[in-house]
Amino acid sequence: MTKWANAVPNRTTQQELKRQAIIREAARIFSRRGCHGATLDDVADRLGVSKTALYRYVRNKSDLLYACHEEAMDIADRTLTQGEQSGRTGLEKIQHALGAYLAEMIGELGVPVLILEENALQGDEAERIYARRDEFETRLRALVEEGIADGSILPVNPKMAMFMLLGAIHWVTKWYRPDGSWSAEDVSDALIELATRSFAAAPAPRLNANIHNNCGRADDAGRPDRRGTDELRTDSRTKGIAADDR
């Protein structure tokens, strides 16, 4: 029965893989061009198929958008749980959770989330996503409060602190490009260390992440070319490392 020693996935897993690929690609495009600015033809082109092919894996555009959000929330919930369990203080838990969240979001297989355009999701789907997001934010705020209680975090307005962190993190999708010289982990480490220092009760006297140290600060003035159809801001031009081919 099992041909090729199961090296080739069977049909149903292939279907699932294809659906995943659609979701990832769609998430990227939605988040760059905006949900309304992105067409299903764009997504299909990137995947090398025709638009109608997508409809075998996805009911319609809003179903796809919803799937992107669900996927992103899955990542958010999972990494948050990891953080809650691995850290010891509230501060550490936040750092672990959001570090993993960011790294995964911008990493190879991530679902670079979804700038929330109002009214892009509608009806029940919107309700479900908003409910999940609210729960996520509540848990995150609880970690801030835990940190304040255990003394690792300064007395701070938890909502404000949370919004600051989420802003800093989600903004990354606006400027980060994976083919730059910074890896997803580099960026994640540096950004989380920096952002959480803002409310650390005992802020470290120096920053340890690679990006804050071993990167020259001299030639940071260069700016990437934005003319390409899919260019997004990155350090590629500045560092002269990344290929300019996509």
The binding site for DNA (CB under 7 A) comprises 3, 11, 14-15, 18, 38-41, 49-53, 55-56, 60-62
Residue from 6, 48, 52, 206 that binds a copy of itself (CB under 8 A)?
Answer: 206
Cα 154–Cα 159–Cα 164 angle in degrees, nearest 5: 80
User: Smaller CB distance to DNA: residue 51 or 88?
Assistant: 51
Q: Within 13 Å of residue 4, how many CA atoms lie on the same side as its CB?
A: 5
x/- mask, a copy of itself, residues 15-44, rule CB under 8 A, reads -----------------xxxxxx-------
Counting contacts by CB under 8 A, is residue 74 touching a copy of itself? no
d(CA 190, CA 141): 22
User: Smaller CB distance to DNA: residue 35 or 111?
Assistant: 35
Contact call for residues 40 and 100 (beta carbons, < 8 A): no
Q: Within 13 Å of residue 152, how many CA atoms lie on the same side as its CB?
A: 17
Residue from 124, 155, 243, 245 that binds a copy of itself (CB under 8 A)?
Answer: 155
The entry of a copy of itself, DNA, none near residue 53 (CB within 5 to 8 angstroms by kind) is DNA
d(CA 176, CA 196): 20
Counting contacts by CB under 8 A, is residue 208 touching a copy of itself? no
Whether the CA torsion 156, 212, 168, 187 is positive or negative: it is: negative
Contact call for residues 168 and 95 (beta carbons, < 8 A): no
Q: How far is the CB of 127 from DNA (least distance, A)?
A: 19
- Residues, the chain: 246
Backbone angles phi, psi at 200, to 5 degrees: -70, 135
Counting contacts by CB under 8 A, is residue 124 touching a copy of itself? no
Residues at the site binding a copy of itself, with contacts judged by CB under 8 A: 32-37, 115-120, 126, 130, 134, 138, 141, 145, 154-161, 163-164, 166-172, 174-175, 187, 190-191, 194-200, 203, 205-207, 211-213, 215, 217, 220-221, 223, 226, 229-230, 232, 235, 238
